[in-house]
Chains A and B, each alone.
Chain A
């Protein structure tokens, strides 16, 4: 068993990233019912923005510089691709995000090239050794940023006035409009925050293992994570991210030798099993059945 803990820690570190990204995805889904297939590209753009800033700034500052730009990027996407389709079927918006994903993949490769790049500079080393177990700096950073951010966001959504407005709009936009709530502005903000979260995940990923177009594939992980957590549950996204991260790590350790390649499929298998028992996901909300 002594070799188990490092796997757990590595799993949690990965899971934190999944959670962060899924948070951005779920937030948008919850507020606007749009399934954002371009979330992986949000992460990609964020990672490359960080890379670019890191060329002439220390990495922590580069990340801080990338975040506002990412927020702006989210606003632009909302303005350019989502708002024009407002009032159309949700599928139209979803198709638009698929198109956006393909376009962004191309643009990113055009701008930054297809090769894997490593960031100049790194985050301050926060790794430590405790009782013979080494905790990597990467794990500390991931957890240190993802957990407070996720919980803070959850709290803000529950308690802050802005959060209440987001939830109100997500339930009944027409009713919100009738009360004079500026729904367009608030929803744009949600897209901005979503892009910001994806960028943070991208930056952490880039700091650990470099930037390349293949980062996009982390976007695929968002779907099992978000569905497992309950598509509209922000807390569920974070929790499911951590769970799947750990399960992946365990599978890597114990199942991979027996079933090569199974780890890739594992998240989807888990989702399938959980949904059989809990159709709304781990923390998804039940529909109120009352006129």
Chain B
């Protein structure tokens, strides 16, 4: 077990319950998708796992996060990344006033100058477009380029577990596919374990082994990717294959049932 979340409860400002007893796990070398609609608690889980809750006025009420068997529930992000978990947060959090090169330097802060140089060359080799624009302000890169830069930055933290929050958000379908392909390639080459948090279920399902579906702070579905693709509920709510008639008329109640 690389990453295990056990019965995690998270509150914001002491009252807003975002996660209500979530358990999930990511095994070695595995790619796991965490799906769910807006406000389901996906990003809260990412923050909790990365030790960033306090930055959002949130805290863990109950439960544990374990990384390589170590309890990291209340560790600070510096220690957690040191153990080998890197989270790419939602909303493309690059440093916009820095150039791509400087972004990578910041990300590779733990590396020796030599390792940093090699790492940067590797990133640029993988993303030639970034190399072309390496001295421009990163804020002016396109959404796809920013996402690639983020993945490159994450690589320079030398992770064993990569948690990626909504990489497809706001990207054109073609770019979404490219991001997914990149993630898959990275996982293979670097032997990463991947936790992919997505609303774009179809894209996520194309590269993962297992799936969790989160709704209103609880896990409502858990299974391998194949099973998810055949599950009626997942089909209906996350892949947009709605059956007409009876089922649709009862949609409201079906959603309720999960809570």
Q: Point out the residues of chain A lying under 8 angstroms from B157, CB to CB.
A: 179-180
- With an 8 A cutoff between CB atoms, is B35 at the interface? no
Known A87-B54, A87-B55, A290-B139; judge A176-B106 contact (CB<8 A): yes
The chain A residue sitting closest to B56, CB to CB, is A174
The chain A residue sitting closest to B88, CB to CB, is A178
A167 and B88 within 8 A (CB): no
Q: Shortest Cβ distance from B113 into chain A, in angstroms?
A: 8
Expressed in whole angstroms, the Cα–Cα distance for A164 and B102 within the complex equals: 6
Query: 1/0 per position for A159-174, CB-CB distance to B under 8 A?
Result: 0010011011001111
- With an 8 A cutoff between CB atoms, is A285 at the interface? yes
How would you classify the secondary structure of chain A's contact residues: helix, strand, loop or mixed?
A: helix
- With an 8 A cutoff between CB atoms, is B119 at the interface? no
- With an 8 A cutoff between CB atoms, is A181 at the interface? yes
Expressed in whole angstroms, the Cα–Cα distance for A181 and B170 within the complex equals: 27
- With an 8 A cutoff between CB atoms, is A291 at the interface? yes
- With an 8 A cutoff between CB atoms, is A133 at the interface? no
Q: Point out the residues of chain A lying under 8 angstroms from B86, CB to CB.
A: 178-180
- Partner of B93 from the list A172, A285, A288, A291 (CB cut-off 8 Å) is A172
The total of Cβ contacts below 8 Å across the A-B interface reads 83
- Partner of B105 from the list A164, A176, A177 (CB cut-off 8 Å) is A164
- With an 8 A cutoff between CB atoms, is A175 at the interface? yes
Q: Point out the residues of chain A lying under 8 angstroms from B67, CB to CB.
A: none
In residues 151-205 of chain A, which contact B (Cβ within 8 Å)? Answer: 161, 164-165, 167-168, 171-182
**7 residue pairs bridging A and B, Cβ less than 8 Å apart:** A177-B52, A178-B50, A178-B87, A179-B106, A179-B153, A182-B78, A288-B97
Interface positions of A (Cβ within 8 A of B) = 87, 161, 164-165, 167-168, 171-182, 285, 288, 290-291
Interface positions of B (Cβ within 8 A of A) = 50, 52, 54-57, 77-78, 80-82, 86-89, 93-98, 102-103, 105-107, 109-110, 137, 139-140, 143, 153-154, 157, 170
Given A177-B52, A288-B139, 10 extra CB contacts under 8 A:
A161-B105, A161-B109, A173-B55, A174-B89, A176-B106, A177-B78, A178-B52, A178-B88, A179-B106, A288-B97
The 8 closest A-B pairs by CB, nearest first: A180-B81, A288-B139, A175-B93, A168-B106, A177-B77, A168-B95, A174-B55, A164-B102
